[in-house]
A = this chain, B = another copy of it.
Amino acid sequence: VLPTQIQRAAGLHAGLSGSGVDVAILEFSGEEFSVIAWRGIDYTMAMRRKVQSLYRPGVNGVDDISLMNFVLGEVFAESLAEVCDRASIPLSSIDIVGSSGQVLHHQPTPKRFRGQPIRSQLVIGESAVIAQRTGIPTVSDFSARDIAAQGQGRPITAIIDHMLFRRKKVPVALQQISAVTTVTFLPPEGDLDGLRAFDTGPGTVFLDEVVRRSTSGTREMDEDGGMAQKGKVHEGMVKMWLSNPFLRRQPPRSAGPETFGPAYADEFCKDASKRGLKPQDVVATATGLVAASIAQAYRRFLPVWPEMVLVAGGGTRNPKLMEMIHRRMPGTEIQSVGDLGIAPEAKQAVCYALLARETIWVRPNNVPSATGASRRVVMGKIDLGSDVL
């Protein structure tokens, strides 16, 4: 029911975009592992709209959240089964599942209640459903324990970045470019205290929303960065948008699904429209802002400039964005985690599989220097498997 040995682990990652879930299956051999299957599975449009509607404070209800918690549990379990099925991996060969859940709300700065400062996060995607459907012990709700220890509960996978990507002699940055963008800075000595991790700024949710608004909804995303390629970056606008309070804030800092979502894109497009920008220029400028906010975060908040930047996430598939990041970081080696054998889109799902393994092994898996927590804790709630029943 709780595995004594872990040969195979599954990771489920549902990003802040609320658009789907990434599944990765890992196989271990000694200290090494390989990703033997992975796949990003989109929610249906109806599901996507429903999930995204839950983000808005004060307009949704306890009945909807109750329902969608169990619905997403089913979706996650089905997605895992589908990935295993396509790769001819028996579910029963998997020892643990780590599930990110779907973040509905993120409140990293304390609100006062009864005079007490309270940080919180609300995550759904019922893990009991995953454990029951698959029979596999399932670890979920990692951030809650970090928040209980005065952390922000994000970024949550920094310890795994440290395990996988640190180098002995040079400082490395792991740059996640997905719904939002997140950096994990790994100092050469390899000590956790020197690690820094925080959300750098807007990401693909922002870009997609800008594309939708700039094409009257005829395009969902800037395929291969083609629109940005044809447009011209308005540098003055980028500069102004870099002064956004979040982007100037000292870490620890973390974004929720609403921080760089539709409302933020609305404001951006209104400003672009006032300036009379053409659609392709709006998209180019938005892409430029994503690149510039990453570079600005490195300049302001990393202790030294990294010698190498490893990139991961769906945003790495946008060559124009990658080119802009290159240009804003002259002389820095930029490499995809794909070159290390982990598909860029699967990286977070891989991290959740490994986070779950740390939980089962009773090893602390948060990073206080990243989340601001007061101490190291073992994050995750465990739902038992069902192989004894």
Contacts and interface: CB of A to CB of B under 8 A. Distances in A.
Interface of A: 1-2, 44, 46-47, 54-71, 73-74, 104-105, 107, 111, 113-114, 116, 118-122, 126-129, 131-133, 140-141, 144-145, 147-149, 359, 362, 364, 375-384, 386, 388-389
Number of copies: 2
A386 B382 contact: no
Contact of A66 (B59, B74, B120, B362): B120
B147 A46 contact: no
A126 B144 contact: yes
A148 B131 contact: yes
Contacts of A120: 66-67, 69-70
B66 A121 contact: yes
A388 to B, nearest CB: 6
Contacts of A129: 144, 148
A145 B148 CA distance: 24
A379 B383 CA distance: 8
A62 B66 contact: no
A118 B58 contact: no
Contacts of A121: 66
Given A1-B378, A63-B107, 7 more contacts: A46-B114, A65-B105, A66-B105, A68-B113, A71-B113, A131-B148, A132-B148
Contact of A71 (B1, B104, B114): B114
Contacts of A74: 116, 118
A145 B131 contact: yes
Contacts of A70: 118-120, 147-148
A144 B128 contact: yes
In the complex, which of the residues A116, A119, A144 has the most CB atoms of chain B within 10 Å of its own CB atom? A144
Contacts of A63: 57-58, 105, 107
Given A104-B62, A141-B128, A362 B388 contact: yes
B122 A65 contact: yes
Nearest to A144: B128
